[in-house]
Amino acid sequence: MAFDITINGAPHPVRASFAVHDPATGGIAGDAPNADLADLDRAVAAAREAFPGWARTPDADRQQACRAIARALGDHAEELAQILTREQGKPLNGLGSRWELGGAQAWAAATAELPLAPKVIQDDASGRVVLYRKPLGVVGSITPWNFPVMIAVWHILPALRSGNTVVIKPSPLTPLATLRLVQLMNGLLPPGVVNIVTGDDRDVNLGAAMAAHPDIRKIVFTGSCATGQKVMQAAAPTMKRLTLEMGGNDAGIVLPDADPAAIAEGLFWGAFINNGQTCAAMKRLYVHDSIHDAVCDALVAFARQIPVGPGLDEGSILGPVQNRMQFDKLSHLVADAAAKGRVLLGGAPGEGLFFPPTIIAGLQNGDPLVDQEQFGPALPVIRYHDLDEAIRAANDSPNGLGGSIWTGDPEAARALALRLECGSVWINAHGAIRPDVPFGGVKQSGLGVEFGEEGLAEYTDLQAVFG
Ligand code: NAD
């Protein structure tokens, strides 16, 4: 499997390529072009040239383009899901590749319908003031390896809808489905509106070059906190607009009135969606002493029935960890936690990049598996006695992406939600995002939001016209 990069509506030849590995087998999933800085400059120049025409295109036509992309995602869902499973490892089934394609289609369709009309502040005999949302120019999108297709859609569609043009650069670990996605989009858009470059991040770091590029007006970045900080530094001299969606260490808090059997499934998927390789997955679970053991038993019983195996097997519900670096980090954190706490499930690496769902109790803040973002299938459980203590421990993190409260009394939990320092709080669920609700992190989890009217606004300059 090999795809070209697309620049100015056409395949662009790149001499070198790099291998993309299949995490389930360790074999080669395909090859991707190893673009250089000159290729990036060509892509940015094409996007820059396409910008005035696309910015002038009526919003109704841009809405139609978003709807057409949503349909194409539906028509090509199975093809893209197969590519995604081979390069990312996630199963076709469960909350895997087919589900990701369904999400991508839904997000594209919803982005077409977001409000973008000018806002009239005043319109009477004494004066008129109207706020306009104007596109920025070339948007650079930098995506990670956990949800490559869905995140590409999260970045590209609002950029297009609001009249910008795009250069996207996927992770070197998962570039293939995005290369194909951009080919498909180019069948529906004028040349240069969406361009893609891929590279292996070895001799040339295309993402770093994008963050510093003088002709890119905004970077939308999803990835680790460390890289997000580098993007912010590199973007400073050109005062780029930034949306940074970075790491999280989301806490879940189970209150004494929760029903362990009723919440076990939600807790499991809150933590183990995409094998825990999800920014807003639940990465630590605080459980009240009075129901601690019952919650652990129910969670372990649910987790035991989940089939883990190669993503292409129709029976697999969880697959391998995506890459060796992540696998080693996870193995290290789990080995440390296993020595300090009580392993309730899993606890040791499997074959290749497979790691079984792991649940470890008896841990506390200060333990590395609790304090650090594991980004894998391992959940630490922390026993608490006093709710104030649990909230303090949940907030004791430089991150603040999401959080959840599990309870029989959702009304009371709404007041508690406001005490959590994070961008989203779910009650009796975790990680349930929607295209019409802004999503983003506080503290070091990011800058700005995606989704909804507020997310769309981040792809625009605000202009006030008086009179
Ligand atoms: P990463 O930061 O290593 O890579 C992300 C992207 O940045 C890749 O495309 C990479 O090539 C590129 N990159 C590398 N160096 C760069 C530089 N100097 N300048 C600009 N770009 C550069 O992240 P990852 O390992 O791919 O993803 C995992 C991380 O992403 C986790 O920490 C996770 O929490 C986070 N994440 C966050 C969200 C969110 O919405 N908050 C969503 C998914 C993942």
For ligand 1, atom 26, the nearest C-alpha belongs to 144
Q: Please identify, by atom number, the ligand 1 atom nearest to the C-alpha of residue 227.
A: 2
Structure tokens at 320: 């391998």
Rg (CA), the chain: 22
What 8-state DSSP symbol labels residue 273?
Answer: G
Residue with tokens 């193995």: 331
**How far does the centroid of ligand 1 lie from the alpha carbon of residue 364, in Å?**
27
Residue 245 annotated in active site: yes
Burial pattern 389-422, b for ≥16 Cβ within 10 A else e, equals: ebbebbeebebbbbbbbbbeeeeebeebbeebbb
β-bridge partners, 134: 461
For ligand 1, atom 40, the nearest C-alpha belongs to 245
* Maximal CA-CA distance, the chain: 75
**How far does the centroid of ligand 1 lie from the alpha carbon of residue 81, in Å?**
21
pLDDT digits (tens, 9 = 90+) for 69-88: 999 999 999 999 999 999 99
Choose which residue among 20, 37, 142 to substitute to test ligand 1 binding: the one with the highest number of ligand atoms within 8 A of its C-beta: 142
Q: Please identify, by atom number, the ligand 1 atom nearest to the C-alpha of residue 145.
A: 26
Residue 279 annotated in active site: yes
pTM across the whole model? 0.98
Choose which residue among 18, 88, 203, 227 to substitute to test ligand 1 binding: the one with the highest number of ligand atoms within 8 A of its C-beta: 227
pLDDT digits (tens, 9 = 90+) for 122-172: 999 999 999 999 999 999 999 999 999 999 999 999 999 999 999 999 999
What was the pLDDT predicted at 22?
98
Q: What percent of the chain has pLDDT over 70?
A: 100
**How far does the centroid of ligand 1 lie from the alpha carbon of residue 144, in Å?**
5
Q: Please identify, by atom number, the ligand 1 atom nearest to the C-alpha of residue 446.
A: 41
pLDDT digits (tens, 9 = 90+) for 357-404: 999 999 999 999 999 999 999 999 999 999 999 999 999 999 999 999
Domains observed in the chain? 5-246+445-466 (3.40.605.10), 250-427 (3.40.309.10)
For ligand 1, atom 11, the nearest C-alpha belongs to 171
**How far does the centroid of ligand 1 lie from the alpha carbon of residue 389, in Å?**
32
Residues 66/162, Cβ–Cβ less than 8 Å: no
What Å distances lie between residue 366 and 244, 278, 284, 335, 403, CA to CA?
A: 27, 22, 12, 15, 19
Q: Which residues contact 245 (CB under 8 A, 6 or more apart)?
A: 221, 222, 223, 279, 439, 440, 441, 445, 446, 450
**How far does the centroid of ligand 1 lie from the alpha carbon of residue 154, in Å?**
15
Nearest residue to 430 via CA among 196, 274, 298, 307: 274
What was the pLDDT predicted at 197?
98
**How far does the centroid of ligand 1 lie from the alpha carbon of residue 143, in Å?**
6
Of the residues 87, 100, 245, 450, which is catalytic?
245
* pLDDT average, residue stretch 20-48: 98
Residue with tokens 């089934």: 93
pLDDT digits (tens, 9 = 90+) for 290-325: 999 999 999 999 999 999 999 999 999 999 999 999
* pLDDT average, residue stretch 90-107: 98
- Overall residue count recorded for the chain in this entry: 467
Handedness of CA 453, 455, 459, 464 (dihedral sign): positive
Q: In the structure, what pLDDT confidence band is assigned to residue 344 with cuts at 50, 70 and 90?
A: very high
* pLDDT average, residue stretch 342-349: 98
Of the residues 87, 100, 279, 373, which is catalytic?
279
Q: Please identify, by atom number, the ligand 1 atom nearest to the C-alpha of residue 279.
A: 34
How far apart (Å, rounded) are the C-alpha atoms in residues 280 and 445?
A: 10
What was the pLDDT predicted at 90?
98
How far apart (Å, rounded) are the C-alpha atoms in residues 65 and 112?
A: 8
| 3-state SS assignment for residue 163 | coil
Q: Please identify, by atom number, the ligand 1 atom nearest to the C-alpha of residue 171.
A: 9
Cβ count within 10 A of residue 232: 16
pLDDT digits (tens, 9 = 90+) for 218-255: 999 999 999 999 999 999 999 999 999 999 999 999 99
How far apart (Å, rounded) are the C-alpha atoms in residues 449 and 441?
A: 7
What 8-state DSSP symbol labels residue 428?
Answer: S
Cβ count within 10 A of residue 366: 10
**How far does the centroid of ligand 1 lie from the alpha carbon of residue 9, in Å?**
27
How far apart (Å, rounded) are the C-alpha atoms in residues 161 and 159?
A: 6
How far apart (Å, rounded) are the C-alpha atoms in residues 297 and 361?
A: 11
For ligand 1, atom 31, the nearest C-alpha belongs to 224
**How far does the centroid of ligand 1 lie from the alpha carbon of residue 244, in Å?**
10
Q: Please identify, by atom number, the ligand 1 atom nearest to the C-alpha of residue 247.
A: 34
Q: What is the dihedral of CA 260, 263, 266, 272, to 10 degrees?
A: -10
Pocket of ligand 1 (CB under 6 A): 142-146, 169, 171-172, 201, 205, 207-208, 211, 222-224, 227, 230-231, 245-248, 279, 373, 375, 401, 441, 446
Collect contacts of 127-132 with beta carbons under 8 A, ≥24 apart: 127/466, 127/467, 128/466, 128/467, 129/464, 129/465, 129/466, 129/467, 130/464, 130/465, 131/462, 131/463, 131/464, 131/465, 132/462, 132/463, 132/464, 132/465
Choose which residue among 224, 230, 375, 445 to substitute to test ligand 1 binding: the one with the highest number of ligand atoms within 8 A of its C-beta: 224
For ligand 1, atom 23, the nearest C-alpha belongs to 223
